[in-house]
Amino acid sequence: MDRAPLVLGIETSCDETGVALVRAHPDRSELVGEAVASSMDEHARFGGIIPEIASRAHLEAMVPTLDRALEAAGVGLDEVDAIAVTAGPGLQGPLTVGASAAKSLAVALDVPLYGVNHVIGHAAVDELVHGLFPERFVALVVSGGHTTLLRVEDIVTGVTELGSTLDDAAGEAFDKVGRLLGLPYPGGPHIDRLARSGDRTAIRFPRGLTAAKDQAKHAYDFSFSGLKTAVARWVEAREDSGEPIPLEDVAASFADAVADVLVAKTIAACRREGVETLVIGGGFSANSQLRDLATERCAEAGIDVRIPPLKYCTDNGAMIAALGAAAVRRGVPPSALDLPVDSSMPLELVTV
């Protein structure tokens, strides 16, 4: 009996080196093995990602991570039928490392190569958990660099960007507020932890682009820069008056403001687009307040919300292999071996 194609996925858009293997069955995608190496600790002392350090870390981690993924899957390189790699968006140096590795493997193994979109991969990974997507759905991808609403009619050939952040992405806002509060980098997990012990109604922070005057032009767009500034001014006023900063309440109120806007705009998009399924992905989808609020409000609105487990929220090879498997399943033509990487790859361009 013929076996389903085995797709090797490589992700190197930022600081994680991710490699995974997914079988592209006709009716499902099956993760058979994966491995991830992170260079986050090397960037923490700088308070952000240093592209040169990330690139070097990818070079050092690529072969060991590939070996670990193959071992976890119990397969050899000679069993790989196709290779998918992140072509963008992301950091130019890290993207180039991953693309170079993928091209070398594609030539050596004589298999097709697919350059795929990192952001769309954050949505595609959900097929590994909850099965194939319905014909139409809305996806909210929230991460350190992206906060984007997508209408999806086909995860490979029919993605339309409805809106995005006009300034800071949700993850960026969390990191900046974390720095403001004196928390370690990255700020997101630390704010999330503090928020669980705080009162989300303690401080009423602003909700960007939710006023009636913004709806016509920015119904699907997000803005978190003003919220970040509001937090800074509130903290500064307390410091000037000599009052203590209630970190838990600030974190909870700030996180609630972000989650409230994300969920409200996303549910409105689902209603306007006439879809009944919402997929949430990206590193920030690990945030507990976002997950809880989305689950609660989607249940009230009669919307089926699909959020991958925490291990698939951050960058990983499984998301790229899953998107590659979807391309293989649909018979999409492979990319050229000289495919370029694009740090600002358009979100409606799923494969290159």
Find, among 342, 320, 326, the residue nearest to 36 by Cα. Answer: 320
- According to the model, what pLDDT value does residue 43 have? 66
Do residue 170 and residue 119 come from a single domain? Answer: no
Do residue 156 and residue 273 come from a single domain? Answer: yes
Do residue 88 and residue 175 come from a single domain? Answer: no
User: How confident is the model over 271-300, as pLDDT tens digits?
Assistant: 999 999 999 999 999 999 999 999 999 999
The rounded percent of the chain whose pLDDT value lies above 90 is 89
Do residue 51 and residue 88 come from a single domain? Answer: yes
Q: Tell me how far apart the alpha carbons of residues 70 and 72 are, in angstroms, rounded to a whole number.
A: 5
Q: Which residues contact 170 (CB under 8 A, 6 or more apart)?
A: 142, 143, 147, 222, 224, 258, 262, 284
Sorting pLDDT into bands at 50, 70 and 90, what band is 215? Answer: confident
- According to the model, what pLDDT value does residue 335 have? 98
Do residue 77 and residue 218 come from a single domain? Answer: no
Confirm whether 338 is domain-assigned.
no
Q: How many other C-beta atoms are found inside a 10 Å radius of the C-beta of residue 13?
A: 28
Confirm whether 50 is domain-assigned.
yes
User: How confident is the model over 330-352, as pLDDT tens digits?
Assistant: 999 999 999 999 999 999 999 99
Confirm whether 343 is domain-assigned.
no
Confirm whether 46 is domain-assigned.
yes
- According to the model, what pLDDT value does residue 2 have? 63
- According to the model, what pLDDT value does residue 231 have? 98
Do residue 143 and residue 280 come from a single domain? Answer: yes
Which one-letter amino acid corresponds to residue 348? E
Q: Which tokens hold the place of 118? A: 């990192």
Confirm whether 28 is domain-assigned.
yes
CATH assignment at residue 321:
3.30.420.40
Residue 282: C-alpha distances to residues 166, 171, 210, 285, 346 (Å)? 18, 10, 23, 5, 17
In sequence order, what are the beta bridge partners of 16? 38
Query: Span 304-309, mean pLDDT?
Result: 97
User: How confident is the model over 145-184, as pLDDT tens digits?
Assistant: 889 999 999 999 999 999 999 998 998 999 999 999 999 9
Q: What is the DSSP letter of 165?
A: B
Q: Which tokens hold the place of 225? A: 């820069």
Mutual angle of helices 247-273 and 288-301, in 10-degree steps: 40
Peptide bond connecting 89 to the previous residue in cis, omega within 30 degrees of 0? yes
Confirm whether 256 is domain-assigned.
yes
Mean pLDDT of the chain: 95
Do residue 198 and residue 119 come from a single domain? Answer: no
- According to the model, what pLDDT value does residue 145 have? 82
Task: Flag whether pLDDT at 326 surpasses 90.
Answer: yes
Q: Tell me how far apart the alpha carbons of residues 327 and 156 are, in angstroms, rounded to a whole number.
A: 6
Q: Which residue range is the domain that position 225 belongs to?
A: 137-312
**Higher pLDDT pick, 49 / 245:** 245
Domain count, the chain: 2
Q: Tell me how far apart the alpha carbons of residues 240 and 246 are, in angstroms, rounded to a whole number.
A: 15
Confirm whether 351 is domain-assigned.
no
Confirm whether 234 is domain-assigned.
yes
Do residue 237 and residue 255 come from a single domain? Answer: yes
User: How confident is the model over 75-122, as pLDDT tens digits?
Assistant: 999 999 999 999 999 999 999 999 999 999 999 999 999 999 999 999
Mutual angle of helices 225-240 and 247-273, in 10-degree steps: 160
Sorting pLDDT into bands at 50, 70 and 90, what band is 1? Answer: very low
Task: Flag whether pLDDT at 27 surpasses 70.
Answer: yes
Q: Per 3-state DSSP, what percentage of the chain is helix, strand, and coil (rounded to 5)?
A: 45, 20, 35
Do residue 22 and residue 67 come from a single domain? Answer: yes
Q: Tell me how far apart the alpha carbons of residues 103 and 118 are, in angstroms, rounded to a whole number.
A: 17
Do residue 144 and residue 253 come from a single domain? Answer: yes
Do residue 115 and residue 153 come from a single domain? Answer: no
Alpha-carbon torsion (145, 336, 59, 317), positive or negative: positive
Do residue 172 and residue 154 come from a single domain? Answer: yes
Q: Tell me how far apart the alpha carbons of residues 251 and 262 are, in angstroms, rounded to a whole number.
A: 17
Alpha-carbon torsion (52, 57, 63, 69), positive or negative: negative
